[in-house]
Structure 1
């Protein structure tokens, strides 16, 4: 069995923003009835977070829960414990109409940090970032590929995409982050 590696080991870039590939991150797709109290308790047990409202991400002591669609969450947990979280979810959700699948190795996770992060993201995502609140999440496109983007805090943003397009997204973000490409729309 091969050893797990990041999508882009040691990827860091500083320009208009600081870009970093977050490395190995546990990610679990959880599908089911998001209004179910059983599912809510399973999410809380797995992450310490509540089931998020539409287009939100919630943080807990051991992970995050991100709203992805009316019947889907993305749970973000430590990489080493992701398989155990899936097992615990399957046990907790036995008898519920729900599925949990580890997708850690199928996703790439990036951090975009700095006062110009919204401008950089707006260059590649068809999203109005002007009133984008901390904890807000949007499923969108980063140029030609599917992505989810959310605001962690102030000038710290996260983006998740499929691992198969990680290099493309990295190159895209690095290109639009080069000095000299300042837009200054979101000040």
Structure 2
């Protein structure tokens, strides 16, 4: 069998906090409590261990080591106590995969209708992999894909299948 186009691995040790708020009012408080600068539209910011991603005009996703989730959740809740905001630990609701290697983009292009090649280095794109909603951003040697935990096996299967050389998958 030919070597895979990319390495597919599931990440198990990340925590995730969904933050919904008026970012123009609460952005500075969120950045301070999260320990990461506020990202621009369609972007991520990172300090190496924490990543803050722009998900929509009033939504951010903080990705961090799972062991730091409870403390960060409390800090964000305190920082936004006077705001109309939602801060929620969604770690157990999400599945995370790394797609790594020189042909990682080729794997995702088989599955996603978005032009991921045009995504900036610090970009975050909400799209779909086959029929599954997901978020994708770049890493040094590949990409991170986040989807719903309820479709973990399906995501693993389509990513692994797309990594097989010569396969052609229809993302529709």
**TM-score of the aligned structures, taking structure 1 as reference length:** 0.83
| Contact 1:49/1:61 (<8 A) preserved | no
The ranges of structure 1 where at least 4 consecutive aligned residues each deviate by more than 3 angstroms after the TM superposition are none
Task: State how far apart, in whole Å, the 1-side matches of 2:13 and 2:20 are.
Answer: 22
SS of equivalent to 1:35: helix
| Contact 1:19/1:174 (<8 A) preserved | yes
Q: Which residue of 2 aligns with 1:11?
A: none
Q: Which residue of 1 aligns with 2:19?
A: 30
Greater RCO, 1 or 2 (C-alpha within 8 Å, sep 6+)? 2
Higher share of residues assigned helix? 2
SS of equivalent to 2:32: helix
Which one of 79, 82, 87 corresponds to residue 95 of structure 1?
A: 82
Task: State how far apart, in whole Å, the 1-side matches of 2:28 and 2:145 are.
Answer: 24
Task: State how far apart, in whole Å, the 2-side matches of 1:44 and 1:173 are.
Answer: 36
Which one of 17, 38, 50 corresponds to residue 51 of structure 1?
A: 38
| Contact 1:109/1:160 (<8 A) preserved | yes
Residues 20 and 30 of structure 1: CA distance in aligned 2, closer, same or farther (over 3 Å): same
Q: Deviations over 1:71-124 (max 9, x none)?
A: 000000111121221111111111111110000000011111111111110111
| RMSD of aligned alpha carbons | 1.8
SS of equivalent to 2:117: coil
Matched, 1:161 2:150: no
Aligned length: 167
Structure 1 unaligned spans of 5+ = 1-13, 183-187
**TM-score of the aligned structures, taking structure 2 as reference length:** 0.90
Task: State how far apart, in whole Å, the 2-side matches of 1:34 and 1:60 are.
Answer: 20
Which one of 33, 37, 41 corresponds to residue 29 of structure 2?
A: 41
Q: Which residue of 1 aligns with 2:108?
A: 121
Alpha-carbon distance, 1:61 to partner: 5.4
